[in-house]
Amino acid sequence: MKALILAAGYGTRLYSIVKDKPKALLDINGRSLINHILEKIIELNGLNEIIVVTNDKFYGHFQDWAKEQVNISHKITIVNDGTKTPEDRLGSIGDIEFAINDQKIDDDLLVVGGDNLFDYNVDDYIAFAQSKPEAITMGLYDLGNLEEAKLFGVAAVDANKKITSFEEKPAQPKSSLVAMCFYYLPRQTLGLVSQYLKETAVSDTAGDYIRWLYQKHDVYGFTFTGKWYDIGSVEAYNEAKEKFK
């Protein structure tokens, strides 16, 4: 299994804080956001490589960061998607496809958004995902508030945790379960990313892919508990610094 961390965004909503620094390298209580992620996945059974996909603007930042990770035994690969501005970014699904092709990935793939901050033990998620080897499993979080859910991709699941609907920022959410940009893609499903892009040409948001995918393929949702922050705004970043320990 390989882990792919998506870190090719330009942090436009966080520009007053990030400026010329990638969002995934922002400090939260003495540790960068990406290191918080690594702490949760680095000991996963079967993990053999960490791949970080970024853009041309921040490629050097992540190369320098990778050189500093002397205590991590796994190989760390930094991939440059070649984009230079927010206007030409590939989007999350475009970056997943780019990394798969660039690195010739032929392995199960754990995809994690580089703006995820959480304290859940990922072992249970992986065990659930690997119990359904033909399906894709996405991470969900129950906000417990339908109004707040309107700002996210919202999923509904059946009794077996299979996704039965998915809507991006719905006006009337069917549940308070929201997508975390956390996906387990078994090796045999990787080709679905290219199939989706060929059919839709929409590469920007993972939610569009999930909405397309669950109607064609089995997709399951695993609900994370504990604390979770989507570091997409100054307010979310400040809240995380205050509350995430």
Per-residue confidence in pLDDT tens, the chain, 245 aa: 999 999 998 866 676 676 788 989 999 989 999 999 999 999 999 999 999 999 999 999 999 999 999 999 899 999 999 999 989 999 999 999 999 999 999 999 999 999 999 999 899 999 999 999 999 999 999 999 999 999 999 999 999 999 999 999 999 999 999 999 999 999 999 999 999 999 998 777 788 899 999 999 999 999 999 999 988 778 888 888 888 87
pTM of the model: 0.95
**pLDDT the model gives residue 16:** 67
What is the C-alpha to C-alpha distance for residues 58 and 51, in angstroms, rounded to an integer? 15
Residues 6+ apart with CB under 8 A from 64: none
Domain count, the chain: 1
Is 94 within the bounds of a domain?
yes
DSSP assigned state of 88: G
Is 161 within the bounds of a domain?
no
Of 112, 104, 91, the C-alpha closest to 209 is: 91
Is 123 within the bounds of a domain?
yes
Is 166 within the bounds of a domain?
no
Cα dist. 114→142, 173, 229, 232 in Å? 20, 25, 11, 10
**pLDDT the model gives residue 240:** 84
**Domain of residue 19, residue span:** 2-134+181-200+222-243
